[in-house]
Amino acid sequence: MTDVTAHTTADVTTRQAPLPATRPSAATKPVRWAADAVSALREGARVRLDYSAQSLWRVDRLIEEIRREGAPYAAVETVLRGLGAYAGEVVVRQVGAEWWTSGGDHWVRTPDGRLWDPVDEARRCYAGDGSLRLLCRDATGAVRR
């Protein structure tokens, strides 16, 4: 399989070549992770997320706050997975993308055929080198052009 890597403003890895994947069951886990994150934030932190692109500003800031507090990665891994899945669901809803899975990883495939990894982007945000807002902007902007 040929892997083509393109770097966007958010320095997000996308893949042009198709991956062997399954759908629609691919959406089951990330949709659940996203819903769990939305529910936990609403109940625990009184933060409301509405699956809009604008809400990803708040998510990026939240991840930055968690990072500044110095929480060990192992303690926030599930939260980051949920926030990444949330960002992926924002892209899915904005442009009619769909979830794909391969080798245990979950990707969002936009209608232009590119694959985006929002869960990994959430991890990159926690490391101080990513943005879910920019991933969404790049993924949805590429489709709308």
Which amino acid makes up residue 31?
Answer: V
Residue 4 lies in a domain: no
Residue 9 lies in a domain: no
CB 2 within 8 A of CB 131: no
**CB-based contacts of 91: which residues, under 8 Å, 6+ apart?**
97, 108, 110, 116, 118, 135, 136, 139, 140
> What is the mean predicted confidence (pLDDT) over 70-81?
94
31-49 pLDDT per residue, tens: 999 999 999 999 888 889 9
Residue 2 lies in a domain: no
Residue 111 lies in a domain: yes
Coil vs helix vs strand at 100: strand
Structural domain tally of the chain? 1
Query: Does residue 9 carry a pLDDT above 80?
Result: no
User: What's the whole-model pTM score?
Assistant: 0.82
Query: Does residue 54 carry a pLDDT above 80?
Result: yes
> What is the mean predicted confidence (pLDDT) over 69-98?
96
Q: What are the angstrom distances between the C-alpha of 54 and each of 92, 94, 132?
A: 15, 12, 11
Query: Does residue 142 carry a pLDDT above 80?
Result: no
Residue 15 lies in a domain: no
Coil vs helix vs strand at 116: strand
Coil vs helix vs strand at 6: strand
Residue 97 lies in a domain: yes
Residue 8 lies in a domain: no
> What is the mean predicted confidence (pLDDT) over 98-120?
94
The secondary structure element, H or E, covering residue 124 is helix 118-126
State the residue range of the domain holding 121.
24-144
* CATH number, domain with residue 32: 1.20.120.1090
